[in-house]
Amino acid sequence: MSANGTNITSCPCNETGGLEEQGLGNDTLSLVFSVTLSVMLALVVFSLGCIVEAGKLWSHLRRPWGIGVGLMCQFGIMPLAAYLLAIAFSVKPAQAIAILIMGCCPGGSMSNIFTFWVDGDMDLSLSMTSCSTILALGMMPLCLFLYSRSWELANSINIPYYNIGITLLSLVVPISGGVLINYKWPKVAKLISKVGALIGVVLIVGIGMASSILYEGSWNTDLSILAIGIIFPLIGYISGFLMALLIRQPWKRCRTIAFETGAQNVQMCSTMLQLSFTPQQLVQMFTFPLIYGSFQLVNGFLLVAAYQLYKRRCKSLCEEKIQDLSKMCTKTNQRAVGGETNATFEHEEATVHSGMDNIPKAGQISQGSCILNSL
């Protein structure tokens, strides 16, 4: 059982032949992928915990403004968006239920990885993931009850409380270990976090390979389902960012809440479908989590790439500004008479050193550069 935000678990209904025709067979290969990627995910979550400071984590829990905004997006915007998309595209009832369940599943560990890559607030990201998983025990049944009454199939939905508990455990234990390492051995924690970032890249690539190999036939679906799978993650990313911006959260938190909203827990959705519906119904329903999970990765990668390009450009402009200031100081120094530095030079030199001290580092450039506003 993986806490990952992308499903790689084979459906247990292959003996009927229905899902196997959709490319969902090969239980052995699926098990190998599932175990391997679950171990890698645990290592990534542990490495992310190594950059979390216990004091900052406690401050988020003590004053949960950021957490509250994120939870409002996860259990407010996403279920409503799922319901409206299902109605707007007039999908079949079974497909509509799959879309709605996807919208009710809070963010998984993919959101933590993306947040790390965009220099987001890791303390907020990990605390949000843990809190949303706990609240899912009550909020998922409530959201499904409110939005699913339009379809009769909703009466057979089973909430996987056991799986939610396992997901929470797989988050809390590695995070706690990482926080402890960072507290006692900060230098070791920095090294572990760098290794974890590389493992995260391998993990994303592995998930993509697993999806393409195990579920190749699942892409043969209605265009409406494909369109929703592409649009829905983007709605989550954009709405989460705009909501955080509207409530005047810092830029770093805006990016964090955006990924926590759009990167849903696809594993949890797939588990609920498998526990609740017949193999014949799953043939229509099981495709959507795969499509959503694939495009939440694609869209997330595009957003990360855009941010990294912006950060490099901003850093380049900062370096150019410092070079210009240095040239100004050199010229002023050359104009000094009798080896004495005039007051103008002293003022400009102090300005330059002050500016250099305040130059954002690579991980801080997004929080407000000396030239451009942050994202």
Comparison of pLDDT for 38 and 238, the residue scoring more: 238
Percent of the chain residues topping a pLDDT of 70: 73
pLDDT tens-digit profile of 65-97?
Answer: 888 898 999 999 999 999 999 999 988 888 899
pLDDT level of residue 60 (50, 70, 90 thresholds)? confident
The whole-number average pLDDT for the span 232-237 is 94
Cβ–Cβ under 8 Å, residues 109 and 99: no
The whole-number average pLDDT for the span 124-128 is 87
> 116 is written with which tokens?
């790390």
| pTM value surpassing 0.75 | no
Q: Is the pLDDT of residue 205 over 60?
A: yes
Q: Return d(Cα 195, Cα 133) in angstroms, integer.
A: 26
The whole-number average pLDDT for the span 114-134 is 87
pLDDT level of residue 13 (50, 70, 90 thresholds)? very low
Domain range list for the chain: 14-311, 315-367
Q: What is the pLDDT of residue 222?
A: 78
pLDDT tens-digit profile of 327-367?
Answer: 777 777 666 545 444 444 444 444 444 444 444 444 443 43
Q: Is the pLDDT of residue 245 over 80?
A: yes
The topology (CATH level 3) of 14-311 is Na+/H+ antiporter like fold (1.20.1530)
The whole-number average pLDDT for the span 127-148 is 86
Q: Is the pLDDT of residue 373 over 80?
A: no
Q: What is the pLDDT of residue 129?
A: 86
Q: What is the pLDDT of residue 81?
A: 94
For residue 169, CA distances in Å to 2, 45, 158 come to 11, 12, 20
pLDDT level of residue 303 (50, 70, 90 thresholds)? very high
